[in-house]
Structure 1
Amino acid sequence: MLNALEVLTTVVVGLMVGVEFSVAFVMNPILDALPEDSGQLGHAHGGRMLGAVMPFWYIGSLVLVVVWAVAGRHDPGTGLVITAGALLLLSVVMSILLLVPINNRSKTWTPDNRPADWKQQMKRWDRYHYVRVAVIIAAFVLLAAALA
């Protein structure tokens, strides 16, 4: 049963990493290259869509890692799992303190009501997101190493 939990947790975290990586390095550059207001509208829609799903994914991933750490506390890779859990906790804290406030504003913007500094706010979100992606990639690598 522990093996199934380990694999499930690694897959769930890996899929989350893939989604967040593609947001940072595929979707956002595509949206930013769209003409006129299309990119900003796309960002707003993505913020609403992913903003509804990602909190459950981040918290769910963290819960799975905690369960793995407790259930496998006597396994040799437990230190890696605990460190991965600490990194996922950091990503949740970063999300709540840094990214969610910007996302909550930007998902309501339209070309008619967006603030003058909307591009700067989106660039700030991007910078925070790059750091968060690096943190969750590190957590994923640690979980994969713990599996091995």
Structure 2
Amino acid sequence: MSMETVFAVLAVTVVGLMVGVEFSVAFVINPILRALPLEACIEARAHGGRMLGRVMPFWYFGSLVLIAVLAILTWGGPAATAGVIAVVLMAASVVLSIALLVPLNNRGKHWTAENHPADWRELQQRWDRLHYLRVAVIVAAFILVAVAATTV
């Protein structure tokens, strides 16, 4: 098995699992949490923010590195263009996360039912809208990683 194939399989697996988690947060978990009573919703989202806030930076940067390695290994071949565009999209998702989503998450992860700002719902809705955008970007990156992987 070639090095390109190994990195293609790793990139598809790691990025695909990450996309699945983020898609689930956007379209399954958060809608369930919004249906809970106020106190439970705030505390559950805070807990999720703490838990995923510890894991996702490594997952995003790891995905970015895997995609970059795949793009480098396929440079000059038919998979390179898809790989390079996937790198750009994943890098954009990292910048979006660090600049906009992480600051909101860092605020919300400390909220409790007794201690949260009056505009907590608006802040969560803003985070959700930005997260939808991030999900769209990483889904596009994942599709391109899959294209690159099948072109190796």
TM-score (norm 2): 0.95
Give the superposed CA RMSD.
0.8
Per-residue CA deviations over 1:51-106 (Å, capped at 9, x if unaligned) read: 00000000000011111111221321101000000000000000001100000000
- Identify the match of residue 19 of structure 2 among 17, 31, 35: 17
Unaligned runs of 5+ in 1: none
Give the alignment of 1:4-83 within 5 angstroms: 4-83=6-85
For residue 108 of structure 1, give the secondary structure of its aligned residue in structure 2: coil
Aligned partners of 1:80 and 1:74: how far apart in 2? 12
Residue 94 of structure 1 corresponds to: 96
Structure 1: which 4+ aligned runs deviate by more than 3 Å?
Answer: none
Correspondence 1:107 to 2:109: yes
Match of 1:134 in 2: 136
Moved more, 74-83 or 85-94: 74-83
Deviation at 1:36, TM superposition (A): 3.2
Query: Is the deviation greater in 74-83 or in 99-108?
Result: 74-83
| Letter matched to residue 41 of structure 2 | G
Q: CA deviation at 1:143?
A: 0.9
Query: Unaligned 5+ residue runs, structure 2?
Result: none
Higher alpha-carbon deviation: 54-63 or 73-82: 73-82
In structure 1, give the amino acid aligned to 2:28.
Answer: V
May I ask how many residue pairs the two structures share in their alignment? Answer: 148
Q: Residue 38 of structure 2: SS of its match in structure 1?
A: coil
* 2:122 counterpart residue number: 120
Separation in structure 2 between the aligned mates of residue 75 and residue 17 of structure 1, nearest angstrom: 26
Distance 2:73 2:148 in 1: 13
Could you tell me which amino acid in structure 1 is paired with residue 13 of structure 2? V
